Amino acid sequence: MQCPRCFWLEVRLKVKRPSGPPFQINKAIDTLLKKEFDVHRKAQTTHPLIKEYDLELVPFQHEKIDYWRNVPISGVYYVHEPTNLRIWGGVDDIWVNLNTGELTIVDYKATSKNKEITLDAEWQETYKRQLEIYQWLFRKNGFKVSDIGYFVYANGRIDLDGFFDKIEFKTKIIPHNGSDGWVEKVLLKMKACMDSDQMPEVGKNVMDSRKDCEYCSYAKARTALTLEHLQPAKKTGKAKKLAA
Protein backbone atom coordinates (compact mmCIF):
# COMPACT_ATOMS: atom_id res chain seq x y z
CA MET A 1 0.00 0.00 0.00
CA GLN A 2 2.98 2.26 0.51
CA CYS A 3 5.78 3.00 -1.89
CA PRO A 4 6.74 -0.22 -3.74
CA ARG A 5 10.40 0.76 -4.05
CA CYS A 6 11.20 0.59 -0.34
CA PHE A 7 9.30 -2.69 -0.06
CA TRP A 8 11.34 -4.14 -2.96
CA LEU A 9 14.63 -2.85 -1.52
CA GLU A 10 13.83 -4.50 1.81
CA VAL A 11 12.65 -7.90 0.57
CA ARG A 12 15.09 -8.26 -2.33
CA LEU A 13 18.24 -6.51 -1.10
CA LYS A 14 17.70 -6.40 2.68
CA VAL A 15 18.09 -2.61 2.62
CA LYS A 16 15.67 -1.40 5.27
CA ARG A 17 14.41 2.11 5.85
CA PRO A 18 15.78 3.45 9.14
CA SER A 19 13.40 3.07 12.04
CA GLY A 20 12.96 5.28 15.11
CA PRO A 21 13.28 4.21 18.74
CA PRO A 22 10.54 1.89 20.07
CA PHE A 23 7.47 3.55 21.62
CA GLN A 24 7.87 2.14 25.13
CA ILE A 25 5.14 4.32 26.71
CA ASN A 26 2.62 3.09 24.14
CA LYS A 27 3.76 -0.48 24.80
CA ALA A 28 3.18 0.02 28.53
CA ILE A 29 -0.36 1.28 27.88
CA ASP A 30 -1.04 -1.74 25.59
CA THR A 31 0.18 -4.13 28.29
CA LEU A 32 -1.92 -2.51 31.01
CA LEU A 33 -5.03 -2.42 28.82
CA LYS A 34 -4.53 -6.12 28.07
CA LYS A 35 -4.34 -6.89 31.78
CA GLU A 36 -7.45 -4.81 32.42
CA PHE A 37 -9.53 -6.51 29.69
CA ASP A 38 -8.18 -9.93 30.70
CA VAL A 39 -9.91 -9.63 34.08
CA HIS A 40 -13.23 -9.39 32.21
CA ARG A 41 -12.17 -12.11 29.76
CA LYS A 42 -11.67 -14.51 32.62
CA ALA A 43 -14.96 -13.57 34.30
CA GLN A 44 -16.79 -13.19 30.94
CA THR A 45 -18.15 -9.84 32.07
CA THR A 46 -18.51 -6.53 30.26
CA HIS A 47 -15.75 -4.00 30.81
CA PRO A 48 -17.14 -0.63 32.06
CA LEU A 49 -15.86 1.15 28.93
CA ILE A 50 -17.73 -1.32 26.68
CA LYS A 51 -20.83 -0.78 28.84
CA GLU A 52 -20.48 3.00 28.50
CA TYR A 53 -20.77 2.61 24.72
CA ASP A 54 -23.78 0.23 25.00
CA LEU A 55 -22.04 -2.59 23.18
CA GLU A 56 -23.18 -6.16 23.73
CA LEU A 57 -19.67 -7.52 23.75
CA VAL A 58 -17.28 -9.23 26.14
CA PRO A 59 -13.57 -10.00 25.68
CA PHE A 60 -13.26 -13.25 23.70
CA GLN A 61 -12.05 -16.23 25.72
CA HIS A 62 -10.11 -18.74 23.60
CA GLU A 63 -7.21 -21.09 24.27
CA LYS A 64 -5.14 -19.30 21.59
CA ILE A 65 -5.78 -15.73 22.76
CA ASP A 66 -2.22 -15.28 24.10
CA TYR A 67 -0.74 -16.99 21.04
CA TRP A 68 -2.57 -14.56 18.73
CA ARG A 69 -1.39 -11.56 20.77
CA ASN A 70 2.17 -12.57 21.45
CA VAL A 71 4.19 -10.90 18.69
CA PRO A 72 6.87 -11.40 17.53
CA ILE A 73 6.95 -14.91 19.02
CA SER A 74 3.64 -16.09 17.57
CA GLY A 75 0.54 -14.19 16.29
CA VAL A 76 -2.37 -14.94 14.02
CA TYR A 77 -1.38 -16.06 10.52
CA TYR A 78 -2.62 -17.51 7.28
CA VAL A 79 -0.78 -18.95 4.28
CA HIS A 80 -2.23 -17.38 1.14
CA GLU A 81 -1.94 -20.16 -1.42
CA PRO A 82 -1.93 -18.17 -4.72
CA THR A 83 1.20 -16.29 -3.59
CA ASN A 84 2.57 -18.74 -0.99
CA LEU A 85 2.95 -15.75 1.34
CA ARG A 86 2.45 -16.25 5.06
CA ILE A 87 0.48 -13.26 6.30
CA TRP A 88 0.89 -12.60 9.95
CA GLY A 89 0.10 -10.09 12.69
CA GLY A 90 -0.41 -9.64 16.42
CA VAL A 91 -3.91 -8.61 17.41
CA ASP A 92 -4.43 -6.47 20.55
CA ASP A 93 -7.84 -7.81 21.53
CA ILE A 94 -10.92 -9.63 20.28
CA TRP A 95 -14.39 -9.15 21.69
CA VAL A 96 -17.36 -11.41 21.07
CA ASN A 97 -21.10 -11.10 20.90
CA LEU A 98 -22.22 -14.01 23.08
CA ASN A 99 -25.61 -14.21 21.34
CA THR A 100 -24.29 -14.55 17.78
CA GLY A 101 -20.73 -15.80 18.35
CA GLU A 102 -19.47 -13.08 16.00
CA LEU A 103 -16.01 -11.70 16.75
CA THR A 104 -15.03 -8.04 16.80
CA ILE A 105 -11.42 -7.03 16.24
CA VAL A 106 -10.05 -4.42 18.63
CA ASP A 107 -6.87 -2.39 18.48
CA TYR A 108 -5.45 -0.29 21.31
CA LYS A 109 -3.96 3.10 20.46
CA ALA A 110 -2.42 5.79 22.64
CA THR A 111 -1.56 9.39 21.95
CA SER A 112 -1.56 12.79 23.59
CA LYS A 113 -3.49 15.58 21.89
CA ASN A 114 -5.14 18.71 23.14
CA LYS A 115 -8.27 17.99 21.09
CA GLU A 116 -10.83 15.28 20.47
CA ILE A 117 -9.39 12.06 19.04
CA THR A 118 -10.75 11.00 15.65
CA LEU A 119 -9.71 8.66 12.82
CA ASP A 120 -9.92 11.37 10.19
CA ALA A 121 -6.23 12.07 9.48
CA GLU A 122 -4.81 10.71 6.23
CA TRP A 123 -2.05 8.80 8.02
CA GLN A 124 -4.67 6.97 10.13
CA GLU A 125 -5.65 4.99 7.02
CA THR A 126 -2.74 2.75 8.09
CA TYR A 127 -4.57 2.07 11.40
CA LYS A 128 -7.76 1.18 9.55
CA ARG A 129 -5.93 -1.19 7.21
CA GLN A 130 -4.21 -2.82 10.20
CA LEU A 131 -7.64 -3.59 11.70
CA GLU A 132 -8.92 -4.85 8.33
CA ILE A 133 -5.96 -7.22 7.92
CA TYR A 134 -6.79 -8.75 11.32
CA GLN A 135 -10.44 -9.09 10.26
CA TRP A 136 -9.26 -10.87 7.09
CA LEU A 137 -6.86 -13.13 9.03
CA PHE A 138 -9.54 -14.24 11.50
CA ARG A 139 -12.04 -14.87 8.69
CA LYS A 140 -9.40 -16.99 6.91
CA ASN A 141 -8.93 -18.87 10.19
CA GLY A 142 -12.61 -19.86 10.07
CA PHE A 143 -14.18 -17.29 12.42
CA LYS A 144 -17.25 -15.18 11.83
CA VAL A 145 -16.01 -11.58 12.10
CA SER A 146 -18.00 -8.36 12.24
CA ASP A 147 -17.17 -5.62 9.71
CA ILE A 148 -17.22 -3.19 12.64
CA GLY A 149 -13.97 -3.12 14.55
CA TYR A 150 -13.04 -0.85 17.45
CA PHE A 151 -10.10 1.29 18.44
CA VAL A 152 -9.68 1.72 22.17
CA TYR A 153 -7.97 5.12 21.96
CA ALA A 154 -6.26 6.54 25.06
CA ASN A 155 -5.49 10.26 25.06
CA GLY A 156 -2.90 11.53 27.57
CA ARG A 157 -4.14 14.78 29.11
CA ILE A 158 -1.81 17.78 28.92
CA ASP A 159 -4.31 20.27 30.37
CA LEU A 160 -3.46 19.34 33.97
CA ASP A 161 -1.22 21.24 36.41
CA GLY A 162 1.81 18.98 36.38
CA PHE A 163 3.27 15.55 35.84
CA PHE A 164 3.69 14.36 39.50
CA ASP A 165 4.78 10.91 38.27
CA LYS A 166 1.46 10.29 36.62
CA ILE A 167 -0.21 10.86 33.27
CA GLU A 168 -3.99 10.84 33.22
CA PHE A 169 -5.71 9.43 30.16
CA LYS A 170 -9.17 9.85 28.70
CA THR A 171 -9.99 6.68 26.76
CA LYS A 172 -12.68 6.36 24.15
CA ILE A 173 -13.90 3.66 21.79
CA ILE A 174 -13.95 4.60 18.11
CA PRO A 175 -15.72 2.26 15.66
CA HIS A 176 -14.43 1.55 12.18
CA ASN A 177 -16.57 -0.09 9.50
CA GLY A 178 -13.88 -2.23 7.88
CA SER A 179 -13.66 -3.84 4.47
CA ASP A 180 -11.01 -6.45 3.67
CA GLY A 181 -11.84 -6.53 -0.06
CA TRP A 182 -8.49 -4.94 -0.92
CA VAL A 183 -6.30 -7.57 0.76
CA GLU A 184 -6.17 -10.28 -1.95
CA LYS A 185 -5.41 -7.71 -4.68
CA VAL A 186 -2.59 -6.20 -2.66
CA LEU A 187 -1.07 -9.62 -1.91
CA LEU A 188 -0.90 -10.35 -5.65
CA LYS A 189 0.70 -6.94 -6.23
CA MET A 190 3.21 -7.57 -3.42
CA LYS A 191 4.15 -10.93 -4.89
CA ALA A 192 4.62 -9.47 -8.40
CA CYS A 193 6.73 -6.65 -6.91
CA MET A 194 9.01 -8.93 -4.91
CA ASP A 195 9.45 -11.36 -7.83
CA SER A 196 10.47 -8.59 -10.21
CA ASP A 197 14.17 -8.07 -11.00
CA GLN A 198 13.47 -4.41 -11.75
CA MET A 199 13.55 -1.84 -8.98
CA PRO A 200 10.00 -0.35 -8.99
CA GLU A 201 9.10 3.30 -9.36
CA VAL A 202 8.89 5.53 -6.31
CA GLY A 203 5.30 5.68 -5.03
CA LYS A 204 3.35 8.30 -3.14
CA ASN A 205 3.79 9.31 0.48
CA VAL A 206 0.92 7.52 2.19
CA MET A 207 1.30 9.31 5.51
CA ASP A 208 0.70 12.74 4.00
CA SER A 209 0.14 13.09 0.24
CA ARG A 210 0.92 16.84 0.42
CA LYS A 211 4.54 16.17 1.34
CA ASP A 212 7.48 14.36 -0.22
CA CYS A 213 8.60 11.21 1.54
CA GLU A 214 11.11 12.32 4.18
CA TYR A 215 13.30 9.22 3.73
CA CYS A 216 13.73 9.84 0.01
CA SER A 217 14.30 13.57 0.54
CA TYR A 218 17.09 12.68 2.98
CA ALA A 219 18.58 10.02 0.68
CA LYS A 220 18.53 12.37 -2.34
CA ALA A 221 20.05 15.31 -0.45
CA ARG A 222 22.77 13.14 1.02
CA THR A 223 23.64 11.49 -2.31
CA ALA A 224 23.78 14.91 -4.01
CA LEU A 225 26.15 16.21 -1.32
CA THR A 226 28.34 13.12 -1.49
CA LEU A 227 28.66 13.43 -5.27
CA GLU A 228 29.41 17.16 -5.01
CA HIS A 229 32.21 16.52 -2.49
CA LEU A 230 33.55 13.67 -4.60
CA GLN A 231 33.95 15.79 -7.77
CA PRO A 232 36.94 18.01 -6.78
CA ALA A 233 38.63 15.08 -5.10
CA LYS A 234 38.63 13.14 -8.37
CA LYS A 235 40.77 15.83 -9.96
CA THR A 236 43.36 15.53 -7.23
CA GLY A 237 43.31 11.76 -7.21
CA LYS A 238 41.77 11.53 -3.77
CA ALA A 239 38.45 10.08 -4.90
CA LYS A 240 39.16 6.62 -3.60
CA LYS A 241 39.98 7.87 -0.11
CA LEU A 242 36.85 10.07 0.09
CA ALA A 243 34.58 7.36 -1.22
CA ALA A 244 35.84 5.01 1.46
H, E, C per residue of the chain: CCCHHHHHHHHHHCCCCCCCCCCHHHHHHHHHHHHHHHHHHHHCCCCHHHHHCCCCCEECCCCCHHHHHCCCCCCEEEEECCCCEEEEECCCEEEECCCCCCEEEEEEEEECCCCCCCCCCHHHHHHHHHHHHHHHHHHHCCCCECCEEEEEEEEECCCCCCCCCCCCEEEEEEEEECCCCCHHHHHHHHHHHHHCCCCCCCCCCCCCCCCCCHHHHHHHHHHHHHHHHHHHHHHCCCHHHHHC
> Least separation, in Å, of the C-beta of 120 and ligand SF4?
23
> Least separation, in Å, of the C-beta of 214 and ligand SF4?
8
State which residue, 75 or 200, has the beta carbon closest to ligand SF4.
200
Binding to ligand SF4 (CB under 6 A) within 199-228 occurs at 202-203, 213, 215-216
> Least separation, in Å, of the C-beta of 15 and ligand SF4?
10
State which residue, 23 or 218, has the beta carbon closest to ligand SF4.
218
Task: State the binding string over 5-24 for ligand SF4 (x if CB under 6 A, else -).
Answer: xx------------------
Binding to ligand SF4 (CB under 6 A) within 99-158 occurs at none
1-9, 24-32, 50-58, 129-137 -> range binding ligand SF4 (CB under 6 A): 1-9
State which residue, 75 or 203, has the beta carbon closest to ligand SF4.
203
Binding to ligand SF4 (CB under 6 A) within 175-204 occurs at 202-203
State which residue, 6 or 29, has the beta carbon closest to ligand SF4.
6
Can you give the binding site for ligand SF4, defined by CB under 6 A? 2-3, 5-6, 202-203, 213, 215-216
